[in-house]
Amino acid sequence: MRTYVIIDASEITSVDFDKVLETSADTLRYSVDGSKVLLKYEGTQPFFLLGKTEYTHSEILSILSGPEWTSEEIN
Amino acid sequence: MANKRISSLDDITLVGGTSTAEVNANDILPITDVDDTTGSLQGTTKAVKVSDLMGEAPVQTADISGLATQVSLGNHEALTSNAHGISVFGATLVDDADASAARTTLGLGTAATSASTDFYPSALATTSYTASGTPLAFTLTSAANNKVVTVNETNNVYVTVPTGLGAGFNCSFVQLGAGQVVVQAGSGVVVGAYTPGTTALNTTAGQYAALNLIPTSTDNYVVWGESTTTPFSNSYSVSMAGDDDYVDFGTIPQFALVSTFSVAGWFKTNTSSRSLYGGTQHYFYPTSSGFSYRINNQTATIGAGTNYADDSWYHFILTYNSGTATIYINGNSTPIGSSSVYNSTTNSTAGDYFRVGARAVSGGNPSTYFAGSVDEIAIWDSVIGSSEVSDIYASNTVIDLSSNSGNYTSSSNLKHWWRFGDGDSGSTVTDKVTSGGVDGTLTNGASFSTTTP
């Protein structure tokens, strides 16, 4: 079961990429304004994400489809 | 008359009287007991030598002084292997009861059976690896040098030969289970077929088949043994969740200032999806009402009004011919639509990003993620003809695009072909077109899946 969290872009330096499913800082999905970043993991919540709101897959897809995360076609 | 064991010549029963004495043919003559024995038979001293008994078969009683008739020595032969020219020890090798001890004496270990774990001489050291992942795979290490690597799996196992195993590294693979062992070269390594010019015979032929990895120089090998070509099958695809995962192929030179190309593949959406594939200046994605296609930053909707259901596999072929994009679905030679898009060539001078499961925006950042499964993406530098479409689709099966088949004649124009799991390992999606190939990388949790068209 995958669990999703959203962190501030300023917190990327604290992310241990061995503990999340994202490959590296270079492949992260940012919000449209670049202020937030999506992370996901399986199993126990990593220590550096403690306290963050957790989302299920369906919940995060709903969030990601909104204008904060998805713009109309970008040229 | 029943058999009687003869311990001395005096025990021999005579029939027919003393003047025409005959030995009862059913009597058994123990050789050890009669060797150089002197005894009394009906008052006559008789001498019997072993050489008399061994010299002829059957032995004539006439050879034994005082005995006139033939003695059946069938039982005698059972008692002495020397009668057949086999040593006593040799006889133990062929005797079930003694074979184990005899083989031990010779250092042969226990007798081999096809399914036994000691199928191989104990002098050969064996080792094994834990195959893991989807598909099952492991990477050789120098620990396997000079050893037999046993592989006991139900499904095929892909073995990668990495660089740096050292000069002279060699090993053998033995397929103990139903899963075949597929030996493939890692980056910087050449694994060729033993017979030049043949398709790589890099797969064990079946259960208990053995395959040898033979070094020709450092990081160069040939495989030889009970081998076959990797059977063409489609067992895997790539699954993406539509959150932030995709397959990254970097940039594709075939999209640099070209006027013709074709892209084909299979897809299955889980939810209303976005980019099946894309870069910065092009993308292609199915919607619930047709396909949206963009090239050189101009977009066209092709096949508008066509409904594509989630959770079903579809095969697509997109052709681009000097400004006209055409889309074929599920092998139908009549396209779902065509549209003029931009002008005659792509406008990139260095190719464009190519992502499967996302597109790329300025700077290459991923965007518009795909939720579902993708398989068998191929790119040609030519326009696939309508007559080829049906044979590529092949009645809803996956075919070997590297070989022409039926009306499909464009294999020589195939520039990239990613099988999305079949023959892949780890997080690498290998380009099956080796000349100019571009490997992809599973990114942000995209994974190989056993869901297939």
Annotated domain spans of chain B: 71-118, 126-228, 237-449
Tell me, which fold does domain B126-228 have in CATH? Jelly Rolls (2.60.120)
In order of B108, B118, B219, B446, the CA distances from B150 in angstroms are 20, 12, 22, 31
Residue range B237-449 forms a domain whose CATH class is mainly beta
Instruction: With CA atoms as reference, report the closest residue to B393 among B379, B412, B381, B407.
Output: B407
Residue B58, preceding peptide bond in cis (omega within 30° of 0): yes
What is the rounded distance in angstroms from the CA atom of residue B272 to the CA atom of residue B368? Answer: 11
Nearest to A27 among B367, B371, B443 (CB): B443
CA angle B9, B14, B15 (to 5 degrees): 165
Residuewise pLDDT in 10s, chain B (453 residues): 455 555 665 665 555 555 444 555 555 555 444 444 454 444 444 444 444 444 444 444 444 444 444 444 444 444 444 445 556 666 665 555 566 676 677 766 655 444 444 444 445 788 889 888 877 889 999 999 999 999 999 888 989 999 999 889 999 999 999 999 989 888 788 888 665 445 567 889 899 999 999 999 999 998 888 887 766 788 899 999 999 999 999 888 777 767 888 999 999 988 766 788 888 777 888 877 778 777 766 777 888 777 778 899 999 999 989 888 899 999 999 999 888 876 656 666 566 788 999 887 777 778 889 999 999 999 999 999 999 999 999 878 888 899 898 899 999 999 999 999 988 888 999 999 878 889 999 999 999 999 999
Q: Which DSSP state fits B92?
A: H
Query: Can you say whether residue B37 is alpha, beta or left, with left for phi > 0 and alpha for psi between -120 and 50 degrees?
Result: beta
Q: Which one of B243, B310, B356 makes the best mutation probe of the A interface by having the most chain A beta carbons within 10 Å?
A: B243
Helix (H, G, I), strand (E, B) or coil at B264: strand
Note whether B243 contacts A61, CB cutoff 8 Å. Answer: yes
- Cβ of A73 within 8 Å of Cβ of B294? The answer is yes
Residue for token pair 């083989």: B103
Residue among B294, B367, B444 whose CB faces A23 most closely: B444
Nearest CA in chain A to B275: A73
Between CA B222 and CA B279 the distance in angstroms is: 39
Location of structure tokens 């056993």 = B450
What's the gap between Cα B97 and its chain centre?
A: 38
Name the residue among B313, B205, B232 with its Cα closest to residue B265: B313
10 Å CB burial of residue B218 (0-12, 13-18, 19+) is: middle
| Shared fold status for B126-228 and B237-449 | yes
State the pTM of this model: 0.64
B190-193 vs B220-225, strand pairing mode: parallel
Is A4 close to B371, i.e. CB distance below 8 A? no
Rounded Cα distance between B311 and B288, Å, is 12
| Count of pairs with CB atoms under 8 A, one residue in A, one in B | 51
H/E element holding A62?
helix A57-64
**B5/B360 Cα distance (integer angstroms):** 99
Which candidate from A21, A61, A73 shows the least CB-CB separation from B242? A61
Please, which residues have CB within 8 angstroms of residue A11's CB and are 6 or more apart in sequence?
Answer: A37
Task: List beta partners, residue B182.
Answer: B158, B203
CB nearest to A29's CB, from B244, B299, B441: B244
Task: State which amino acid sits at residue B277.
Answer: Y
Cβ of residue A44 closer than 8 Å to a chain B Cβ: no
Decide if B294 and A61 are in contact by the 8 Å CB cutoff: no
Regarding predicted confidence, which is higher, A65 or B385?
Answer: B385
Distance from the A49 Cα atom to the nearest Cα atom in chain B, whole angstroms: 17
Torsion of CA A11, B239, B370, B379, to 10 degrees: 120
Q: Which of B273, B264, B266 is nearest to B245 (CA)?
A: B273
Q: What is residue A29's three-state secondary structure?
A: coil
Minimal CA–CA distance to B155: which of B139, B133, B171?
B133
The DSSP bridge partners found for residue B263 are B318, B379
* Selected residue of A38, A61, A70 to mutate for chain B interface (largest B Cβ count, 10 A): A61
Global ipTM: 0.93
Q: Of B121, B122, B219, B130, which Cα lies nearest the Cα of B169?
A: B219
CB within 8 Å: B297 and A30: no
Q: How far is B445 from chain A (nearest CA, A)?
A: 5
Q: Do A2 and B371 touch (CB under 8 A)?
A: no
Q: Note whether B368 contacts A2, CB cutoff 8 Å.
A: no
Question: How close B444 gets to chain A, by Cα (Å)?
Answer: 4
3-state secondary structure of B222: strand
Residue B367 pLDDT:
80
User: Which residue in chain A is spatially nearest to B371 when comparing CA positions?
Assistant: A61
pLDDT at B194: 61
| Distance between CA atoms of residues A28 and A30, nearest Å | 6
How many CB atoms lie under 10 A from the CB of residue B415? 20
User: Given B294, B365, B444, which is nearest A22 (Cβ)?
Assistant: B444
What lies within 8 Å, CB to CB, of B377 at 6+ separation is B263, B264, B265, B277, B356, B416, B417, B418, B420
